Structure 1
């Protein structure tokens, strides 16, 4: 038998912006969607050039509890800070901050609060950090 090969489709770059963060290339775009995605309204999708993961972020979230979604094989919903300006506009520097924030490993001093993961489960602080570190290790392996 022939070995099984995994084929990755090329990213359609039309309508997408390119950004390089820590020497890695990502593509991002802003779009409006209602009732079809995780967020309603204006939102952002960021995808790694090698398609190993994606980040999803809603621009019109409640200011108290904001969420970013990190998708690898499933999804992890993480409480996060605000990355757009007060007018609701995100700039390339905001995109860069979001990518860096998502890819920063939690430590003993920082906790990335996982609101829920797939399958839906609310995690405590220890479970959140373990899961998040595991995901970041998987992303690093694919880079």
Structure 2
């Protein structure tokens, strides 16, 4: 069976293209993806069968060999730096607990600081 990498795939449109190891472009429809795999990322390695479609080569019976490397995972902070960031977030949240228990949200500036820190931590954890 031929192998190749996903050139691009649009989950909303339900199709994309593979580039085979020998350089051919092959159409990839979402119906050819394995059960439970709704989408694939560019760079994912796949094994597939080929059929001649109306507009050229089309992938069939696709099998995911290797997922595309995560850009977020490759660029995220080292764990020891994240530990410090998470500890700072815990301290900020702990300081706002008293006001919340008394039925009041923190002041706007403090709320914005908390929200920004939560987003930053979430972005770092999202791989």
Task: Pick the TM interval, shorter chain.
Answer: under 0.3
TM-score, structure 2 as length reference = 0.25
Higher RCO, Cα 8 Å, sep 6+: 2
TM-score, structure 1 as length reference = 0.23
